[in-house]
Amino acid sequence: MHPLLEKDHKQLINLLDALDKCISTGNSVNKVHKYLSDFVALAEEEFKNEEAIMETYKYTEIIDHKKEHADLLEQLFVLKNKLGSGHAPFGKDYMQLLRRWLDGHLFGADSRLDKFLNQINVNSNKSDS
């Protein structure tokens, strides 16, 4: 993974793992809500960073990529608000949904962005030689 993306991706995965562990061990709704809130905040930050990178390097798939980000954030906000107001339990079904989305995004849209960024670096390095 390109260094510009790798750190944020690792943080998202680590926080999702912590959320999963929190649910698996039967922690309180408040603790689960805190982990979910942290995940949402980190996802927002990571998406903004990623979108800034895409704009800087004139990434051609930016519109579709940003739409994926917006769609996930919308789902996360709804879920977080439901959990916060006590209207929805947060369990393994939601974790599977989050993992499927994150895996799909990382190995789909972000993988294409990674390839694009690496191609730019290869071209830059060749011209520096």
Percent helix, strand and coil across the chain, each to the nearest 5: 85, 0, 15
Please check whether residue 20 lies inside any domain of the structure: yes
18 vs 76: CA distance, rounded Å: 16
Which parts of the chain have pLDDT scores under 70? 87-90, 122-129
Please check whether residue 33 lies inside any domain of the structure: yes
101 vs 118: CA distance, rounded Å: 24
What pLDDT is stored for residue 128 in this prediction? 38
**pTM assigned to the model:** 0.83
What pLDDT is stored for residue 73 in this prediction? 93
14 vs 11: CA distance, rounded Å: 5
- What is the number of domains present in the chain? 1
What pLDDT is stored for residue 89 in this prediction? 66
Please check whether residue 31 lies inside any domain of the structure: yes
Please check whether residue 127 lies inside any domain of the structure: no
> Which CATH number is 98's domain given?
1.20.120.50
- As a residue count, the chain comes to 129
What pLDDT is stored for residue 88 in this prediction? 62
Please check whether residue 40 lies inside any domain of the structure: yes
- Three-class DSSP category at 113: helix
107 vs 85: CA distance, rounded Å: 33
What pLDDT is stored for residue 122 in this prediction? 35
Please check whether residue 128 lies inside any domain of the structure: no
Please check whether residue 125 lies inside any domain of the structure: no
Q: What domain range includes position 49? A: 3-119
Please check whether residue 129 lies inside any domain of the structure: no
